[in-house]
Structure 1
């Protein structure tokens, strides 16, 4: 089974070229970020489009484009961003889709239009299981998956763990549905009171790590059986996602090393299992 490891630019420091060079040297297959003209808004540093395109080619990195729906008309926001993203020929698009405050009927109308534009551009879209979005809980996601058999996910179960304040012991049915429809994993470990543990290798979070790895392994098994590639991003984030020491504002762990630890850990898990 082919496994692609992707590095998010979220929390990266230094020049754009130094970021790409570091990512490539660490053995990642690609990068994940908003479109270059939106990187500063979401990740806090500017990115020139021509340089961005040149660096992707120079370092032979594949690209996952991120879109974030907003405004009065989320469907039109999605359409506009996906059509722009398609110009970059990404291997897939990861979408923060709709809002948790929408009614099911409003969400259904959104996803009907989202699936239509996905088919039009011919690029797979994974709708992320993210707080504040339509897929912020296992049961809202399950309802949408039942309604739309073609809907695909970016599985970031750390959000569900936080929202449900549990390791989802009572959500087996919805987890199974989500696992079958996942095309991309954000391999971040959450816990009952937050979306990101200080370090996934810390022994005090072994239960949380084991739970997340159990879900990820099931996703890997589904891809192995289907003969499709497994794409994952160890998407740990900077403060305030990363806990900080009181009074110092210092992050408790090195973000780059945490992501790299998670990358190697998942690759080892897949290599030993498949």
Structure 2
């Protein structure tokens, strides 16, 4: 049986409105670019059968791993995405829960309902940590992890750094809560944030070095934690998700201040370095 592995994906959303692009890339063009650049797969919306049917065959012919994103407002809203995911045997479904009770007692039954549906369809489920969704608040999410231990998260730490205005140096309280998130995560979405901005230009190494170092450290720690839980042959996904404005900061001309596609490829290399270090740390700890 093969060792657990990392698969780095590219967000199809991340191709929208690229700086200097004369037109929007088609989905097939985005798939081919991702594949040619060495990405293992793509992350895409996965709740509309007609939309998915227009590109899924080509993606799978290229051997791309598929992460499917769904945006339910009720428990039953997730069923179409799970049916599609089961039909096409994709890696997992990510949920951005567009319901905001902001109370763990109200949120817990919703999470249990989504997990039960996913189990019934035989589809791995990841609940994304994301602003303005069910997991908006770091403190409520921490309580949810106690109430619904069967749920696995997808860690997008940028939303907590920006949404909770986590500052540098990170307080011991925030460090402990982030580590709790990492300990329950089975996938990642990646961008570098600060306490005041959801997406910094990672290509500006000196300008944003402290924040980049923080995220690289957290991702590496998360990989080490996952390796301690992973089964032989299991794969962990990390999606490079550098989005267009208003995620990307723009200049006066309305264009991104950096080349997001170049940044995404650079982020992939940094994440692979994190993974190599994590594998070494895990092996050393197991000796």
- Could you say whether these structures have the same fold, taking a TM-score greater than 0.5 normalized by the shorter chain as the test? yes
SS in 2 for 1:204: coil
Q: Which residue number corresponds to residue 241 of structure 1? A: 247
Q: Which residue number corresponds to residue 41 of structure 1? A: none
Q: Which residue number corresponds to residue 226 of structure 1? A: 229
Stretches of structure 1 that go unaligned for 5 or more consecutive residues are 39-46
From 4, 14, 28, the equivalent of 1:17 is 28
Contact persistence 2:220–2:275 (CA under 8 A): yes
Q: Which residue number corresponds to residue 172 of structure 1? A: 175
Q: Which residue number corresponds to residue 56 of structure 1? A: 59
The structure-2 alpha-carbon separation of the partners of 1:37 and 1:87, relative to structure 1 and needing over 3 Å to count, comes to same
Contact persistence 1:98–1:107 (CA under 8 A): no
- Between 27-36 and 61-70, the greater mean CA deviation after superposition: 27-36
SS in 2 for 1:217: helix
SS in 2 for 1:140: helix
Q: Does 1:185 find its partner at 2:188?
A: yes
Q: Does 1:119 find its partner at 2:124?
A: no
How well do the aligned residues superpose, as a CA RMSD in angstroms? Answer: 1.9
User: Normalising by structure 2, what TM-score?
Assistant: 0.85
The structure-2 alpha-carbon separation of the partners of 1:4 and 1:163, relative to structure 1 and needing over 3 Å to count, comes to same
Residue deviations 1:34-68, cap 9 Å, x none?
A: 12738xxxxxxxx8544412211221111111000
Contact persistence 1:200–1:209 (CA under 8 A): no
Contact persistence 1:6–1:233 (CA under 8 A): yes
Structure 1 residue runs of 4 or more that deviate by more than 4 Å after TM superposition: none
Alpha-carbon distance in structure 2 between the residues aligned to 1:217 and 1:100: 30
Alpha-carbon distance in structure 2 between the residues aligned to 1:133 and 1:36: 17
Alpha-carbon distance in structure 1 between the residues aligned to 2:52 and 2:132: 29
Q: Which residue number corresponds to residue 48 of structure 2? A: 37
Q: Does 1:251 find its partner at 2:256?
A: yes
Structure number with greater CO (CA < 8 Å, separation at least 6) is: 2
Q: Does 1:109 find its partner at 2:106?
A: no
Aligned residues: 262
